[in-house]
Amino acid sequence: MPKLANFAAVDGLHTFPRLLFHHAQIRPQAPAMREKYLGIWQTWTWLDVAERVRALACGLAALGFKRGDNLAIIGDNRPHLYMMMSAAQCLGGVPVPLYQDAVAGEMLFVLQDAGIRFVVVEDQEQVDKMLEIRDQASALEHIVYDDPRGMRHYNQAFLHDIHELMEMGRVHDRNHADFLNAEVERGHFDDISVMLYTSGTTGKPKGVCQTHAAFIAAAQGGVAVDHLDASGDILSYLPMAWVGDHLFSYAQALVAGFTINCPESGETVMTDLREIGPTCYFAPPRVFESLLTSVMIRMEDAGQLKQKMFHHFMAVAKRCGADILDGKPVGFDERLQYWLGNILVYAPLRNVLGMSRIKVAYTAGAAIGPDLFKFYRSIGINLKQFYGQTETCAYVCIQPDGAIKFDSVGQPAPGVDIRIAANGEVLVKGPMLLKEYYKRPEATAEAINADGWFMTGDAGFLDADGHLKIIDRAKDVGKLSNGAMFAPNYIENKLKFFQYIKEVVCFGHDRDMVCAFVNIDVGAVGNWAERRGIAYSGYADLAGKPEVLELIRECVEQINADLVHDTMVADSQIHRFLVLHKELDPDDDELTRTRKVRRNFVAEKYKVLIDALYSGKSSQFIETEVKFEDGRRGKVSADLKILDAKTFPIVRKAA
Amino acid sequence: MNHPEPISALYGQSSEPSTMSRKKIGEVILDLQNISLRFGGVKALTDISFNVRAHEIRAIIGPNGAGKSSMLNVINGVYHPQDGKIFWHGEERKRMEPHMAAQQNIARTFQNIALFKGMSVLDNIMTGRITKMKANFLEHALWFGRARREELEHRQKVEEVIDFLEIQHIRKTPVGRLPYGLQKRVELGRALAAEPSMLLLDEPMAGMNVEEKQDMCRFILDVNDQFGTTIVLIEHDMGVVMDISDRVVVLDYGKKIGDGEPEEVKNNEDVIRAYLGAGH
């Protein structure tokens, strides 16, 4: 296992500032960054960027920024903010990007925790937030802003326009000609390059300290696996504080030397995507889903001929598209049809999506539906999933070309070792691991065990081909009474990929079988019912229709058939289920505000239903209190039918 | 929109950063003296006098049918008052037509949105530049020589307006497809594209929800603050009027019943009676 990044591959350039100045030397006129401003894409070459970074770094030094200082960065993806990251690194400082939509109070914690003296922000909105908490963030000395709009009346001495800072830096640079080069020389690969705060769903956020070596290693791995090079383009639109953006838009861009493109505003991302036509693109599953939906809706309005053509060739793509992309053998006849389809349908479609030049598209953050995933791959878009955490530079598993499985997150990335602990937790080791949590040795010790394995907190398993499948958070995983693993989220997610099913809650910990509550998606099922002429009055009525129950039963049985193939989860087939008479709702405390099921609360509230599921009854009466949107309370009651689903015999492979 | 401040912070002057200097209000640039306007036997305006100073936000309020829009149309040259004098920068104005108002750097928006619904936001705002274009019809038609150079310049200005109003994402969208609040913003954009020294806004916030109003207030204050544009606005939302305007004139049945700073007007007996009815 390589202990460090392969610095030989980048000419011994082992920090990000060195990489930057290297690019400025070997490809001075190539575009490094673009930003759409006043409707026109403005370009900064590597030479421009290096010059500005130099000026910014010297400016920071002139203001008193020293080695080891932390620089908070707050704003949308802006070239100057990326440059500020490099500037801080030149001086041996640590950039600390923050989520720009956080309110001032939330930012205060990070400012205090990291002892921030210098902060660079995008605009007036962020300046106002800083002014609001300035009294409490006692270390805060200087605020630099990028966009001068609305700043005319702010005349405090500690506020600096970024262009002023650059001017200040240029003067400093003239007077101390060797200063910056010497500072860059002092930089070491084992220095902290960036500090990213984890969102902290449990307790206060923690600052994850990553070294230059870690991020360079992670970037090199990704660049090598997906063959990215200096000719590439990426659209940088996800929060700079997110590890993925730092990996793609900063680390990989500097390692491979490709161009980052900053959209005009958050709302123009889709237009900008089409204009830039990036070669590498990241989006969470829901973005891919809404893109597909918009295509499908627009197809409905197309003429007869176009519709026929579209559906014909989409069927072709479904049969052989993904195989062709994976380089698997496909018959000549199918290939010919796909070739024709590419000219008539797939290529124009990719163009509409802004993905004509895509070499690789990534998705992560949530499970992606198999149909959705296959759709994109079948029209020739190399969509992949990856897996990683802030603590691992978002670099643990990637899906290599030609070996894509939609339900796995891929094989361990180059240089990464994976082990599954006895409790099913995924353990990771490699050059991309965090150095430490900032000023939290006890948390560091908790996350990295004595043998140097990082404990991800996710439960998963490696399949026969060495692909990692993530099934759940480790703490949610339980055991069936026969000792088999029970991962509720894994099964629930599988069911939720059906458009008819909105929410599922599975039970099975310490029980002899798995049972489930199902919430139907009233939109999709309502539509389905209308087309079949089934009349219904509301959610409860629809959910109780025998036809609907039959529909859901089919979905459940399909999942059971699917589950039986995975030895690890084959015992988790759903034996009995019911369709709830009301939607689970955050107002009734059944879901969190981010719409995650509060498992224990639901189990408590509907105890009588769970008992009925496990006692073999075929129906159960229930009355539930509900809170209406106007605050009134009412009761809904129903006689719920409990259905049995077909399960499949488990075929154990001979060991 | 990312304006996280509560509405009170947006309107209230007390919560502005202390370093923010209040703008300087200049001398009288528009003086209306004893204006009367009749349509046949109907008296729309009777003997109304008031003035507008440079860089101020001047509100005209009053119940329905009080003559507010007529007043704006008089300033704008759409209506011609039978009696009274109008002084513009100290010079008496003779009979005036709307296009002359445009040439004098007065721009306006309308109560009922008057945009080209089928045209894009960009093109609609571009029409605001029309008075600044020098190339002739033929040059424009052939997109040749001067017309081409000019268009680039004008496009730059239009893009600045788009940036200012934060409507980049709808740049190429046909106006007819936009929600009402955004259409209002586009209309403001068209008026701003003319780089006016005086801006007449006829109910810029009518029919908007709280958030849209909040945004619109912010834009009006920003225009006034950053470009020093004098603003005359008609508005029904008393909260908005009292918070953003420097002086308010109150009309009722075509007569002026109050004039002064918001505080003064708020306590004026006649104004209270006009708004709440007699006996209160």
pLDDT tens digits along A125-183: 999 999 999 999 989 999 999 999 888 888 899 999 999 999 999 999 999 989 999 99
Average pLDDT over residues A331-338: 92
Average pLDDT over residues A102-129: 92
Residues A238-256: b if buried by 16+ CB within 10 A, e if exposed? bbbbbbbbbbbbbbbbbbb
Q: pTM for this one?
A: 0.82
User: Where do we find the tokens 């709302």?
Assistant: A267
Please tell me the distance from the alpha carbon of residue A141 to that of residue A64, in angstroms, as a whole number.
10
Q: What is the nearest CA distance from A502 to chain B, expressed in angstroms?
A: 30
* Closest CA in chain B for residue A124: B3
Considering chain A, what percentage of its residues have pLDDT values greater than 70? 96
Residues β-bridged to residue B217: none
Q: How confident is the model at residue B1 (pLDDT cuts 50, 70, 90)?
A: very low
Do the bridges between strand B57-61 and strand B247-252 make them parallel or antiparallel, or are there none, so unpaired?
parallel
Average pLDDT over residues A497-524: 90
Fold of B1-105+196-280: Rossmann fold (3.40.50)
Give the lowest-confidence range in A291-295, A585-589, A590-594, B189-193: A590-594
Same fold, B1-105+196-280 and B113-195: yes
Instruction: State the pLDDT at residue B23.
Output: 61
Instruction: State the pLDDT at residue B15.
Output: 38
- Residue B19: CA count within 13 A, CB half-sphere: 11
* Every domain of chain B and the residues it spans: 1-105+196-280, 113-195
Q: Which of A107, A149, A153, A154 to mutate to test the interface with B (most CBs of B within 10 A)?
A: A153
Query: In chain A, what residues touch B222 (CB-CB under 8 Å)?
Result: 150
Please tell me the distance from the alpha carbon of residue A309 to that of residue A342, in angstroms, as a whole number.
12
* Nearest CB to B19 within list A150, A154, A264: A154
Q: In what order do the strands lie in the sheet with B230-234?
A: B106-109, B198-202, B230-234, B57-61, B247-252, B255-260
Please tell me the distance from the alpha carbon of residue A602 to that of residue A607, in angstroms, as a whole number.
8
Q: How confident is the model at residue A207 (pLDDT cuts 50, 70, 90)?
A: very high
Fold of B113-195: Rossmann fold (3.40.50)
Inform me whether the pLDDT recorded for A302 exceeds 90: no
Please tell me the distance from the alpha carbon of residue A75 to that of residue A122, in angstroms, as a whole number.
5
Pair A555, A495: CB distance under 8 Å:
yes
Residue B90's identity, in one-letter code, is G
Instruction: State the pLDDT at residue B277.
Output: 66
* Closest CA in chain A for residue B224: A150
Give the lowest-confidence range in A229-243, A559-573, B210-224: A559-573
Please enumerate in sequence order all residues whose Cβ is within 8 A of that of B140, keeping only pairs 6 or more positions apart, or say none: B133, B147
Residue A134 has a CB neighbour count (10 Å cut-off) of: 18
From residue A183, give the alpha-carbon distance in Å to each of A60, A116, A129. Answer: 13, 21, 32
Cα A137 from chain centre: 31
A564: three-class secondary structure by DSSP: coil
Instruction: State the pLDDT at residue A24.
Output: 95
Contact B19 A101 (CB under 8 A): no
**Total count of residues recorded for chain B:** 280
Query: In chain B, what residues touch A152 (CB-CB under 8 Å)?
Result: 225-226
Query: In chain A, what residues touch B227 (CB-CB under 8 Å)?
Result: none
User: A147: which 2 tokens?
Assistant: 């966009």
DSSP letter at A251 equals: I
Residues A267-300: b if buried by 16+ CB within 10 A, e if exposed? ebbbbbbeebbbbbbbbebeebbebbeeeeeeee
Give the lowest-confidence range in A56-60, A119-123, A444-448, B137-141: B137-141
Average pLDDT over residues B150-176: 92
Rg (CA), chain A: 27
Cβ of residue A633 closer than 8 Å to a chain B Cβ: no
* Nearest CB to B17 within list A38, A101, A131: A131
ipTM tops 0.85 = no
Task: Return phi, psi of residue A180, to 5°.
Answer: -65, -45
Tell me the count of A-B CB pairs closer than 8 A: 47
User: B120: which 2 tokens?
Assistant: 């894009």
Cβ of residue A614 closer than 8 Å to a chain B Cβ: no
* Nearest CB to A103 within list B4, B20, B160: B4
Q: How confident is the model at residue A200 (pLDDT cuts 50, 70, 90)?
A: low
Pair A454, A429: CB distance under 8 Å:
yes
Reduced 3-state DSSP string for A68-134: CCEEEEECCCCHHHHHHHHHHHHCCCEEEEECCCCCHHHHHHHHHHCCCCEEEECCHHHHHHHHHHC
Instruction: State the pLDDT at residue A48.
Output: 96
User: A525: which 2 tokens?
Assistant: 């099922």
Residue B211 has a CB neighbour count (10 Å cut-off) of: 12
Please tell me the distance from the alpha carbon of residue A574 to that of residue A501, in angstroms, as a whole number.
15
